[in-house]
């Protein structure tokens, strides 16, 4: 059997220059409002980021579609969309990998991005704060229906074990077998054709002198010895 590719769609805790990805905290994806402030969104409307090396170290995350970059705003203490550029201030992020397979995004002010009350803000970095743990969804690594395959034809069915095997056998044993239809035997003898002499003409006997004698004459004693 071709195994389901369970490795696809796993969380990647590292981001390298050139990677394309989306970001979420739990099931809330990064989005933005009319002021370009970060708010919670969905998988269908979240922007795709492209990682690039920043001149001040770390990485900058740019959206080709929006022509913006993910920026930390000290003024609003949150994550916002701002002008892109590898030399722009506050566009650079340090990716802190965690054992959980998620990452913290640390800005150049020492603050980490987090999701709180439906908004993407920033606060003192705390690896135990689950709202600061971002999931990195790399492009092309989601599980699709094509990864799910069916068993090959030459595979043998799996053996039943334990209670299922006993239960199935018990269910089969309680089934009433179908009765075969019985053929009724007859005690009557088969009819056969019996020949009788009732309808046959009497046999004629010849005597000396060419006289004819029939059976009825013999039976009635008309013929004397």
CA distances from 87 to 22, 83, 91, 190 (A): 22, 10, 8, 115
Residue 99 is predicted with a pLDDT of 87
Q: What is the pTM of this model?
A: 0.59
Q: Where are the beta strands (DSSP E) in the chain?
A: 20-25, 28-32, 38-41, 49-53, 59-63, 68-73, 78-83, 92-97, 103-106, 111-116, 119-124, 135-138, 204-206, 212-214
Residue 92 is predicted with a pLDDT of 95
Q: Cα(11)–Cα(159) distance, rounded to whole angstroms?
A: 35
Tens place of pLDDT per residue across the chain (225 aa): 333 333 333 444 689 999 999 999 999 999 999 999 999 999 999 999 999 999 999 999 999 999 999 999 998 899 999 999 999 999 999 999 998 899 999 998 889 999 999 999 999 999 999 999 999 999 887 644 344 344 444 445 555 555 555 555 555 655 556 666 565 555 555 555 545 555 555 555 555 555 555 555 545 555 444
Mention every residue, 6+ apart, whose C-beta is less than 8 A from residue 91.
Answer: 54, 60, 69, 70, 71, 82, 84, 85
What 3-state DSSP class applies to 79? Answer: strand
> Any idea of the CA torsion for 66, 68, 70, 75, to the nearest 10 degrees?
-120
Q: Cα(5)–Cα(72) distance, rounded to whole angstroms?
A: 37
Question: Which DSSP state fits 200?
Answer: S
Q: Cα(18)–Cα(129) distance, rounded to whole angstroms?
A: 28
Q: Which two structure tokens, joined as six digits, stand for 157? A: 């069915």
All domains of the chain, ordered by start, with CATH?
A: 20-147 (2.80.10.50)
Q: Cα(217)–Cα(207) distance, rounded to whole angstroms?
A: 13
Q: Which two structure tokens, joined as six digits, stand for 149? A: 């395959």
Residue 76 is predicted with a pLDDT of 87
Residue 69 is predicted with a pLDDT of 98
Mention every residue, 6+ apart, whose C-beta is less than 8 A from residue 197.
Answer: none
Residue 172 is predicted with a pLDDT of 60
Residue 78 is predicted with a pLDDT of 94
């Amino acid at each position: 059997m071709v195994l389901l590719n369970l490795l696809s769609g796993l969380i990647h805790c590292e981001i390298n220059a050139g990677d394309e990805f989306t970001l979420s905290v739990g099931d809330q994806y990064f989005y933005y409002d009319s002021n370009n402030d970060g708010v919670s969104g969905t998988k269908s409307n979240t922007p795709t980021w492209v990682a690039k090396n920043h001149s001040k170290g770390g990485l900058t995350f740019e959206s080709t579609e929006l022509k913006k970059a993910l920026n930390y705003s000290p003024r609003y203490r949150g994550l916002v969309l701002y002008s892109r550029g590898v030399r722009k201030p506050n566009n650079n992020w340090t990716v802190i990998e965690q054992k959980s397979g998620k990452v913290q995004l640390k800005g150049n002010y020492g603050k980490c991005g987090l999701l709180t009350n439906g908004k993407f803000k920033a606060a003192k970095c705390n690896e135990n704060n689950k709202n600061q743990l971002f999931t990195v969804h790399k492009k092309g690594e989601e599980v699709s229906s094509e990864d799910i395959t069916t068993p090959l034809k030459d595979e043998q069915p799996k053996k039943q074990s334990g209670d299922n095997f006993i239960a199935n056998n018990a269910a089969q044993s309680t089934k009433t077998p179908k009765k075969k239809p019985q053929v009724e035997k007859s005690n009557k003898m088969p009819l056969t054709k019996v020949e009788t002499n009732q309808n046959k003409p009497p046999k004629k006997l010849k005597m000396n002198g060419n006289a004819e004698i029939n059976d009825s004459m013999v039976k009635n004693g008309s013929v004397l010895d």
